[in-house]
A and B are shown apart, each in its own frame.
Chain A
Amino acid sequence: MSNSIGELEGADFLLVVGSNTTESHPVIALRIKKAARQGARLVVVDPRRIELTRLAHRWLQLRLGTDIALFNAMAHVIIREGLYNAAFVREQTGSFDTLRKHLERYTPEYAAEATGIPPDAIVRSAREYAVASRAAIVYTLGVTEHSCGTHNVQALANLALLCGNFGKPSAGVNPLRGQNNVQGAGDVGCIPTELPGYQKVDDPAVRRKFEAAWGRPLPSRRGITKTTALDEVLKGRLRAVYIMGENTVVSDAHASRTQAALERLDFLVVQDIFMTETAQLAHVVLPAASYAEVDGTFTNTERRVQRVRKAVDPPGEAKPDWLILCELATRMGYHMAYSHPSEVWNEVARLAPIVGGISYARLEKEGGLQWPCPTQEHPGTPCLHADGLASRRGHFAPVDHVPPAETPDESYPLFLTTGRRRSTYHTGTMTGRASGFHLLVPHEWVEVNPQDAATLGLRDEEEVYVASRRGRVKARVKVTDRSPDGVVFMSFHFPESTRTNLLTSDAYDFVTETPEFKVCAVRLEKVKRGRRPRG
């Protein structure tokens, strides 16, 4: 997030895009609700009738995967009507003329055609965004999990740049991250192209610094992402994988391909707290300690580093992840030893300037600290770019609307979009073990619009097959107008009965390699009961 969770309640305009906030980030949603109660305008962009649409002043129900057309048209209106922040654009951005030319054809009428949103609603939303004094954009995976995910984000960033919404409290562009430490995992260098603190692996000066600290030469070639790695396994070039704490074969797109790839490996290590579907494929499984059994830190979506504290001992012989890695490294000839996670953190802080001023002692005394926090005296940074973008101008990105990689046809006439539900989480390893939760969400539902259900002759709670070009799963029908006509929705929380990601697409964003979880084409088939055919 460019800004902070708490700042959202001070916004006077909120554009919430592709984020079912009340279900996926219920506590952040409380701030959005508060802002709306205090009079902020709330515009929700989502193909589904999510809960927030009830609170919204306007719901822009776009067709799946047409975000860029909408945001480009909003930018078009803002430029055409002269509502942009001319001083900010002049002083802090670049490529404005390119953008203006690029957007000429993105009239509200053109976008209406693509998105299904009336031109008038686009024009009004654009004007309201532009004239608001503190306009925040909030988005989640509904924006990024598309083959055009990066372009979706850039189209949103164009809006924020046009209106000078960076470096201002309660404004900005705010992605809500989905997992407790997904921000931190990237911050500390678990990215194929970045060393800790987003320092580039292909910069020789950076590598020299880390080589001096770690006492070994470092590889200069960029690594590959998980998405590409699967191809590399199938081509026989990747032979061994070590997975720490991820149920890959359930959570990744096109699950049968993921599974086939992992099964082909010469060697697979899985380190986890449960015997997950992924661990079952491993050659060696290592028992890890859970979050309740370790000391350490997590970094939340607003870049806040917070202390995680040990409450109980791990069960049996299970060990903390950090200790396992140290013991293994030492046995492989590299001496890695720390007496406590705080020593590990001190090393991170020494090497990654963005967190250089954060220590366990400060976290103990001051609570969580938001990076950048380069020195011991620095109070942390709730709002990024407060000093302006001037040194690294924000360049407008002229991006175009492209349809999703797979769209419905005669054989697979429905869109499937996937996501989360409030009371279940990801692959169900944790919420699946919480008593009582089966009363809240008993099994996977495929949410079907009443009109589609009528056409297909489907009843509520009827079991159906959902089939795509890649696989077929069983789920129960939930007839609901949360799903628009022609779109069905599923989560992936019940892998034992419904492996939703057997259906999802191979397509991915060409920049971040994020799979297109949000769009693929499916059909629903009735499950034939065990009756013998007549005659």
Chain B
Amino acid sequence: MISLLQSNFILESLADFATTSGFGAFFAPGGWKFAVMIALACFLLYLAIKKQFEPLLLLPIAFGMLLTNLPGAEMFHSELFAGGHVHWDIFVDNAGLIDYLYLGVKLGIYPCLIFVGVGAMTDFGPLIANPKSFLLGAAAQLGIFATFLGAYVLGFAPNECGSIGIIGGADGPTSIFLTARLAPELLGPIAIAAYSYMALVPVIQPPIMKALTTKKERMIKMSQLRQVSKTEKIIFPVIITIIISLLLPSAAPLVGCLMLGNLMKECGVVDRLSKTVQNELMNIVVIFLGISVGATATADSFLNFKTLGILVLGIVAFSCGTAGGLLLAKFMNLFLPEGKKINPLIGSAGVSAVPMAARVSQTVGQKENPSNFLLMHAMGPNVAGVVGSAVAAGILLAFLS
């Protein structure tokens, strides 16, 4: 017994255990990065739970980030997806749970499934009633292309510029879909920037809206929208899918899924499917998507100047998108007769972020004129923005993939 205690075996074993444990890794060279990432994950959890910043997605993303940065746990193996494609030859032997879940992101499955749910929850009625809203949705995509160039100024590669620019579309699934194909190494920072800024739309947009419009413009009352028949609502998703998919085949997965969900809702004969894609399917996919996207935010890929650049460019993208919508609305007013003028505040809703951006238009408008109800008018550009950002993603994919 004494000889056993005297031997170095026990001490060596304990030392080995200490160095191989997760705690030991914190004291290894570069171990501080794990501690920073865990602290960051906890901060995002705080934002999701306490501040309710897009909690449905930020919470799983933050927890995925926490899991992937626990030293020694090795939940996610970025080497299996190195070089932008899946290494199937070593995948089965080395993959863990999150690696399998990440396949849904890598193969572009989750964003499309989420789009089916988004489509089933969206009412395109205001857009059908006022097709001019498409113009405002298109103008708000200015943020994407301005940031695309801004990212190039900061030294990002063209494919990375495309992924960063799409943050300006204010559409999480589209950002993830495009980034997973163009610059998968930036998926973590881009997803976090996109969802964080989407949650901050009520903070980012109002100052820009006030700066670019006059009080008189903000008080403009818009005429009531015409009633849209059920047949129109059923035909709309079919027509949009055919036209956009024929014009831009690369946008077909996103637009097709969005319109499939909408058709399920509007046709009224598949209520069960419509409810499933709106609730169960959407919730399950959000969990998988959140965890796996969060898991890509490893210390090495996140703690660098690129992330800082992405966060700065993200806010530029949102601001430019907002300004683009507002300015086009003002420009349109130059040609519209009195009584048919549009309130420029609805232009800012063109940056997707459904329905928060439309709510911001309503709130800012009501502050100037409490009897003004802009919500339904703003929903037109808002859903046009979803279509517009999917089209922009398809264009960038066609150019850069």
A and B: real partners? no
Residues in B lying within 8 Å of A, measured CB to CB: none
Residues in A lying within 8 Å of B, measured CB to CB: none
